Chains A and B, each alone.
Chain A
Amino acid sequence: MESERSVSTAQSSEQPDNLVYDWSGMVDRIQRNDETAMEELYRVFSRGIRFYLCRQLGPQDLDDRVHDCFLIVVQAIRKGDLREPERLMGFVRTIVRRQIAGHIETAVQTRRQQVDIETSGAIPDRRLDPETFVIGRQEEELAAAVLKGISRRDREILTRFYLHEQSQEQICREMRLTETQFRLLKSRAKARFGELGKRKLFRKVS
């Protein structure tokens, strides 16, 4: 997946070394209206932008929203608003976050106006589609199957961590666990979840 992307020169300490791009070069080429640079920008960021927008705003109007983000990024680059070209990733993230905040703000305003007009009763939300609801149920069943296969004590550890959101330190202290035991239990449970999920998927396909 990484091989089709351009490889760079600059590298920061927090950046993963196998996903480093020549952001400055890309910005420079976009400023010079290089079509291939625009295509590259789209290829590198489109799935990530789509991923964030979909997580926060849902699947509706996704293509348009991704397109809007791109337009803003490209226009900003062309106008020279991007002061540190090597921080292009951070810049794109900021634009995506602003877009998300803007959409949410609009949705909230609309809801407030609807609420003002309403005299009584709550405004019904859009219902989850049945398919999403069923998938959520199935995933919960997988997790329940994982829980059935572990001891009561292990279940308590997971309850403390995932349900009551206690810190790892507190759980290890109160349940007399080493950090390694804690991590092992968690990673085994997660691996089992993935395994059961794959089996279920396999049964469906075959």
Chain B
Amino acid sequence: MSPSQVEAVQQRDTVLSVKNLVTHFFIREGEVHAVDGVNLHVEKGETLAIVGESGCGKSVTALSMLRLIASPPGKVLSGNVIFQGQDLLHMKQSQLRKIRGKGIALILQEPMSSLNPSWTIGRQIMEAIELNQGIKGKEAKEKAIEMLKLVRIPAAESRFNNYPHELSGGMKQRVMIAMALACRPQILIADEPTASLDVTIQAQIMELMKQLKREIGTTVILITHDLGVVAEMADRVTIMYAGQVVETADVFSIFHNPAHPYTRGIVRTIMDLKDKNHRLEVIPGDPPNLLNPPPGCRFNPRCAFAKEICREKDPDYKRVKGSDGRWVRCHFPLI
């Protein structure tokens, strides 16, 4: 092998892979097919973006990976989540607990309600440190203050004693990031870290995430519906639609040479905006109700390329022939 090939192999060091994950919710109205065959993998050191419209199953995917779905009503019905050669979905709770945090840390979607209102933020970060770094007391407190400084919280020593309600939304999200990083995770999952913040704060938090990624070099799974953020931060992108992964590719290909009609539809909308060409080409229709997804390809009611088979047979998620690590779920891929 040439040196560049060796480098390529090393880059392809998969740290986490999810295979055929299925999570449904059993509610009065029926069975919600929230996640229905999600496949993805993460390579060491990269930022993988998981992209899709609200309600397509991004958060449920992330929570299912660490078995954090509330049951009832939810249930992980099948799949494998392979991390360090072990399947997180089929291991003992006690083992899983050692992987939560230290192995994979999670920043939940809602910074407003993701902190315990009756604990100081310092104590909450200290808990993460004590659980994952094996240090306690004064030393853990110093580390916690360091973490607050790392996420650029001013007056960290006094902020340490604040309760969540004494902090703004942006500050809370910084605390969430500090707490996740305090676990020293090998993989950090950030679920829409800026979604509920106002625009200027969003930019600040994204900037912070970028800086931290440079400083620490953690592997990141960034969940978002914002393609602008994807273009700025992601190495590879996994696109989700209606509970399924429809395409995975490097970030350049996603924007410039999408394989799936849905991907093409969503990147067109923002490309057109960028070109100041106001002909906004929105995909017609709405995503399907996951209580009763359409037969065949789930995108078929909205797809301009749909043919007979699309209404009958759900396409497999396949590697694109001749491509370098591109995957697509479509009978008639565009490449």
Partners in one complex: no
Which A residues fall within an 8 A CB radius of B? none
Which B residues fall within an 8 A CB radius of A? none
